[in-house]
Amino acid sequence: MDIADWRQKIDDLDEQIVVLISKRAEAAAAIGELKRKAALPVYEPNREQQVFDHVRAVNPGPLADAEIQHVYERVVDVMRTLQQRP
């Protein structure tokens, strides 16, 4: 494969990632609504740590565990912001 082929593959993968992130956001928004109704805090450091532990455990590489966690730290931060929306 040449560069154009690899770039097309990346574009295709990005489209799949966007769909999955959107589905994750729908779930996070639903959880945010439940938290509001139950007067629970949005920020749950123990749950966030569980997410990071999980993604590191299932990480097949080539990203190092610290790198995949860094990606997920940003994802979780965005989802937390989504949960804070009224």
Instruction: Give residue limits of the domains in the chain.
Output: 3-83
Q: Is the pTM of this model over 0.85?
A: yes
Phi-psi region of 59 (alpha: psi -120 to 50; beta: other; left: phi over 0): beta
At the top level of CATH, the class of 3-83 is mainly alpha
Asked whether residue 28 carries a pLDDT value surpassing 90, the answer given is yes
82 vs 29: CA distance, rounded Å = 6
32-76: pLDDT as tens digits: 999 999 999 999 999 999 999 999 999 999 999 999 999 999 999
